[in-house]
Structure formats: C-alpha cells, structure tokens
Amino acid sequence: MPAQPPPSSPRYIWQHRAWPQLTWDAAALAPALEQARLEQGRLLGLLGAIGLEQANAVQRELWVQEALATAAIEGEQLNIESLRSSVAHRLSLADAPGGDRHVEGLVEVMQDALAHHSDALDLDRLCRWQSALFPGGTSGITRIAVGRLRSHFDAMQIVSGALGREVVHYEAPPSAQVAAEMGRFLAWFESTRPAAGATAMNGIARAALVHLWFESIHPFEDGNGRLGRALADMALAQDMHAHDAQASPALVRVYGLAHQMLKTRAAYYDALNYAQRLRAIAPEAHSIDATPWVQWFVQAFTHACITSQTVVRDATDKAHFRLRAAQCQTNERQRKVLERLLEAGHVGSGGGFLGGMTTDKYAKITGTSKATATRDLVDLADKGLLRIEGVGKATRYAVNVPGWEQPAVKG
C-alpha cells in the first residue's frame, strides 16, 4: 500500500490549534481607539446640531452611498434610482419601494441589522439575510444555494487572476465544518454583546473581530462580504446603544464604513488576507493575535467618520445657502443652475462643477440665449450668490459658499 502524502502545512488561522481565540493588544491600540471615539463623537455632534430635516436627508443619502459601496466592493453595480426609492420607502418617505428585488434585499438586510440590533443573532436570521440578497436563487446567471450554509465538496477559495493564472488568496474551512464553526461564532457574538455600564471589549474592536471571524468562516456560497459588513454595522449599533440608549442605531450608517472600505479596497483586502494567514503565529501559541487587523479596521472607521463629517458640513453649507438664495429675487433659470452647482458640490467633497459655470454652460442648461445667460449670471454675482473667477473669455462663476473650491479647467 503506497504511503499517504503528509498533510500540507497549516496556512490559515482556522487551521491553528488556538482557533478561534482571537486576541488584540488593547494597550497598543489605545491611542487609535481614543482617536476613533473622538471623531465618532464629532460626527454625531455635527449631525445633532443641523436639525431633524437636514439630518434625515444626510442619513438618507449616506445609506444610499453605503449600499452602493458594499455592493461595489463585490463588483456589483446597483441601480441608484431603485436604491434611492427603496431607502426612501424604508425611511417612510415614499409609499412604495423600487422594483429591483436585489436592491430591496440588500436594503432590507442593512435595515434589519441596525433596526433590530438587539435581537438575537442566530443561524436562521443569517440564512434569511443571505436569501434576501439572491431573490432569484442565482448569483449572476449561476445557481447558488440560498438560505442555507454551503455544502459543496469543493474548497471555498478567494481567488483572483485570469483563468489558468489564478492566485488563491484564502481558503475557508471545509463545508463539513461550517455548521460547527458558525455555532461557535454565534455563541461568541451573543456572549460579548456590550452592555451599559459593563466592562467589556471595546465595541469598535469587537466589530473588527466580528468581521474577521465571519469572513474567515465564509459560511455561504455567495454574499459573505455584504453580510460580514452588515454584521460589523450591527456590532457598532450595539456598541452605540450601550453608550447611549437613546441614540438611533440607524446613525451607524452615517459612519460610512463600507464607503471607506471601497475607497481603500486593495488595502482592505490586503489587511483581511494578512489577518487570515498564519504567518508569524507560533504553532504553540494559545491565541491568534489579530492586532494588525483591528488596527486597520479602527483606522478605517476613523477615516470614515472624518469623511462623513465633511458630508454633514456640506449639508449645513447647502442649507444655509438655500436659505440665503430664497431671500433673493431669482428666476426659475437661476434657481435651476444654483441647484446644479450645489448638488455638484466642491473639490473638498470629491465633487465640483468641472471648470466652473460659464455663459455657454448656463445657456445650454437653461435653454436660453448667451445674452440672457450673461445677465442672469451677473445678477447672481451682484446678489452674492455666485463669485466670479477669471476675466474675459476665462470668466467662470462658482457658487459662493465659503471654503468651496471648484475643480480647475482641464487642458
């Protein structure tokens, strides 16, 4: 009888004897966690100061952006109009949701994770979430198992690269182990829930471990990334509730964590991949040090809060500008162009009306003559609603909001 080949050396954290004992260095990460709490507080303070109507508008738009981002990370593009409609329906701002069932499913999962963050997280709930992401039972045109754990014999691998040149970034536990792995994960999730006044794990660090642990199991045939980010949001909502029982868990969406992960997608994947491999973890270790991953997650959370602060400030700027414009006598053409400039934003927000407003652009947008366009623009400048940049043929008009810069003319 031929000798059996020796088992391959363990490469992934779930193969280590200490799995799933994930630990992190609280002392080393104390400054980063303190900074994260500071930026979180600044964001929530700004949101609380802008008034209910503006706050609702900001939350609505950031929810849309989060849904777009969490799908885009997986290479999926959502219909933004269907998404806006679905979000508006969930916020009771519209009578009916959009008609895209895939959009509806994702929005429903995101809402359930936050609105019912205090409800028990069990396998049935996760299976229903995953089923909602794939209402037709397919991922693209490929049929997949929905509403249940993966059961296929083939290895669950995270792979990139062209056919024949694939690079395996990670291999999850075999399907036969998934049920037991999920049992341990769910028990830990429930046992580590933050409670008001209790000494517990830092809630942001816990959210990082939730995401790492779930992604390492990769329990479903598809949808694991979106579900893992929803679970991180759920953990953050539980943390928020423990700090302030009156705070709305929906505010977690304003953190913009998925949007930040999309902006730094390569770094996100690299950090996750590094954390899932054994590398420097000694075979005899009694726990798996996840400090680098927690640090990356905390920094991503911090940057996300800072970015969202800009969004809130922009909303305040727009509201003040609209109030100022309403006190001036403007015609319908002028109001249309001012709104276009406001919605385009500015360089600091990642937007802006490229090259500024010109008489030619104004005439085209409003369907009027260049002479009328010139009169309208000069009138808006005289009223202080637009500022003039450049002279002669290089004259450009920008919305007059302090601190707003428009992108330069290319070429």
Given a cut of 70, whether residue 95 has pLDDT beyond it is: no
Q: Which pLDDT score is estimated for 7?
A: 46
Rounded CA separation 38/16 (Å):
36
Rounded CA separation 243/195 (Å):
8
Rounded CA separation 199/206 (Å):
13
- The residues spanned by each domain of the chain are 13-314, 329-399
Specify the amino acid at residue 255: Y
Residues 353-373: pLDDT tens digits? Answer: 888 899 999 999 999 999 999
- Confidence bin at 13 (pLDDT 50/70/90): very high
Q: Where are the alpha helices (DSSP H) in 73-192?
A: 80-90, 101-115, 123-133, 175-191
Polymer length in residues for the chain: 411
Q: How far is CA 295 from CA 24, 177, 289, in A?
A: 9, 29, 12
* CATH 2.60.40.10 given to domain 13-314: no
Rounded to the nearest integer, the mean pLDDT of the chain is 89
- Confidence bin at 411 (pLDDT 50/70/90): very low
**Residues 6+ away with beta carbon under 8 Å from 310:** 348, 349
Q: pTM score, two decimals?
A: 0.86
If residue 289 lies in a helix (H) or strand (E), which one and from where to where? strand 288-289
Rounded CA separation 270/268 (Å):
5
Where does 329-399 sit in CATH, by number? Answer: 1.10.10.10
Residues 136-191: pLDDT tens digits? Answer: 888 877 888 899 999 999 989 988 888 888 888 999 999 999 999 999 999 999 99
Instruction: Give the dihedral of Cα atoms 324, 325, 330, 333; nearest 10 deg.
Output: 170
